[in-house]
Structure 1
Amino acid sequence: MLTAALYIRVSTDKQEELSPDAQKRLLLDYAEKNNMLVSEEYVFIEGGISGKKADKRPKFQRMIGLAKSKDHPFNVILVWKYSRFARNQEESILYKSLLKRNNIDVISISEPLIDGPFGTLIERIIEWMDEYYSIRLSGEVMRGMSEKALRGGYMSVPPLGYASTTPGNPPVVVPEEAELVKTIFNKYVNEELAMFQIARQFNELGVKTRFGKPFQRRTIEYILQNPMYIGYVRWNRQHHSSHTIKSREDWIISKGTHEPIISDDVFNAAQERIKRVAKPLKSRPVTEYKHWLTGIIKCAYCNRALVAASSKNPNIFNFQCSSYAKGKCESNSVSSNILVPAIMEYLQNVINSGVVDYTVKTEDRQIDVSLLEQQLSKLEVKAERIKAAYINGIDTIEEYKMNKELISSERRFIEKQISDLKVDVKHDHKPEMLSRVKELYKILNDDSIDKIAKNKALSSVIERITYNKRESKVKVYFYYR
């Protein structure tokens, strides 16, 4: 008597086929009529799984693993149709050959084959037809989904800020999640924080994603680039198997019927900054700067950069407005022999007078406070739930006390953060600013310090320096962060 395994699969494409129970019943009947013994532990059933890729089918892989083992527990594998075993001819031949080496046959009970070469040919034709049907069906599904997407239909899980409704209807806005989305755009566009900084701030505040996980840089990037937030539907952006991004030409973006969360202006500003940060126009690494003033010195007339060019003397550089060569600004040239002493004199006057004008660059703490207050509101809901669980006899008194203490501890932590954020930070920074200017002056005067270190020191205190050739004058714009 042969020992048989049953492999039963129902596809994701819902084509007309037998249910798992019906397939199992027919396979067991076939085994009984053909004197085959079937053990329940060797009945492998997979539902809602495509047959295109064998490595995506766990029950199939387990069955093959047992078949390859030294004392394989069955001699034959029964399937309702060969398409249940595989829909990829290459994989079908590969796995059947592997099974053959272990003296295990694959039999389709609804597609009987004769022995010999002709039977093998018929089997290959059946496999080819199954693969062709799979490819054709996949194409039809893709075309149908593409057409739906072009009409503004919704086929994927909505992003943070939205929740699904009944099938076919547009998603609805989730107010508390929508506030998070608005905060992300505000921090990126208005506060000019980097994506990783936004993610880090959210994580420090205890804010989680919809799935209860910490925010990552890619989470922020996905939100900032998703046109869903301005009322559009985006589909076919990535390959499902590898999760790699497809070419933009393959994307489908169409007008939806859902409520936008972000204005077009804010969304477009975010896209512009993403492009600018990813590929800054004519940007160069600091290591390629010719002079430590590069990137800081600007034209007083048009605010464009003054570009350094080498002269015959390697220690002297000539600066000129980058717009002058394009005919967009007048000549604003100056030698480093003039520019550097003028800047050093400016710094010395600040130090001697003790008067420094500067702008304060700070983050919008009010937004962080509102996020923390939302977390407090959620804690109140949790507190009511654990209380109800105790009253209804679900939790013991010990469990209730433990959960209550955990919530109290979290509440104290959040309240402390709110208190810290509400502390008035508008005090006088001038003493510290003067100290920074003095340190900068020392660094710029030290010939042993290279241009890269000098440029970084300059950038940490000075936002920009402008030069006006008409007045032979420099102006330094200090900032405090």
Structure 2
Amino acid sequence: MEQVYSYDRTSVWDTQKVSNDAQWEIIRSRSLEDTECIPQRFSDRGKSGGNDDRPALKKLFIEIRSSYIKRKLYVWRYDRIFRETQKALEFVELCHKHNVEIISISEPLPEGSSSLALKTMFVQLLFINASMQRETIIENIRNGLAYKRSNGDYISSAIPFGYQLIEGKIIQNEQEAKAVKRLFELYASDDYGYKRLADKLTEEGYLFNDHPFKVHNIWNILDKSIYYGIVKGGTFGEYKGNFEPIISESEFKKAQAIRESRNVTKVNRREYPLRKKIICPYCGRRLSPTQRWNYSKTKRLHYYHCTKRECPGIYVSATKTENMLLKILKRFVNEDVIYQGIITEIDSQMKQLIKKEKQKDQKNAQSRREIVKQFEDGIITLDEMKDLLSSFDESQSKQPIPIENCRTQLDQLLELRKQSIQQLLLDHVEVVTVQKDKKIDGVFLQGLSENICIKK
């Protein structure tokens, strides 16, 4: 039985476009008619044709590359596979190489188009035509928007608070327009901040979309020039609308002057002693400090967070994490069990290393004796013996001295006990590891390889 595949894709959920299921039904019927087989289906929903990272498309590529036997691939249109001409041509070449015939139901190849050259030319023509159609549509839309702008028509689909859309024209919503006008009047008195102004409007019975005014609603309304008749036209630039403004230009500019006078740059003066010391439990990157504003509690919240975009990300409370670390450091300094446990561990490592050093010295002495014996037996000359001994001694001198490293760690550990908790935190904490539940599971001080968070 002939092996048959199908691929369908939609970039967005839209009832006016040919859905994945509609494409599949068309392909399925055609495949049954041609081959009496139901194709192996590969389907990507809500995926752009310009995006190569599509799960079903990746699986289709693997399937195509897996064999060179004759097969068929049904698609509704070529642009379901790729939007870009070059990528579509590369896909056609791959299918031709692996003996896979592409059948586009809406764009059938002319009779006798079996060669790769003819397929390539046909696909190029299809994509050139599609590109011209897209450019024409975009140009027509832009021309239409430019015409609306020249007439002063509102060209956005988002209707601001205070207005409503009726038969393609925006007119004032009487109740909402009163709220906007009152908002600017109260703010112009210079007696109200955003929070107090929101409370005042609610107290007077004004609502924002059937809800009490919030601080961000006040900010958004004060920021919009549309209320005095000027539309921000995006790439077309600002223009005067043909609708009735709610306030005057002078009222708007007075509000902006008050906002400017109250605009104080907020500087984060908090110290972050664990900056670049906490390791992200997901990707291993060191966390950076950040702050957020909690409107419900009207205060800043401080965090350490992962800045890597591909990472699932983690936010740990700066205050909670620092307090947790202080407790660990206090226990480390004050509890002899932990402290002595680390010293015992380092001491044990030193004893093992001394034993290994003795064994190594015995082995080196044996190697030197073997070199000398080769000279005595006449196997090597005197100069060769000197060179071999010199090379051997040089190689041994380059070896690290782990015992000295352990002694240094022990000296540093004894010195650390004299430091204050705060000084340990600021100067000596090198790495802090946290679990995905944000609990600290590792604390490593400078010069020490032992995790002081582990209870001995």
TM-score, normalized by length of structure 1? 0.40
Higher relative contact order, chain-length normalized (CA < 8 Å, sep 6+): 1
Higher-Rg structure is 2
TM-score, normalized by length of structure 2? 0.42
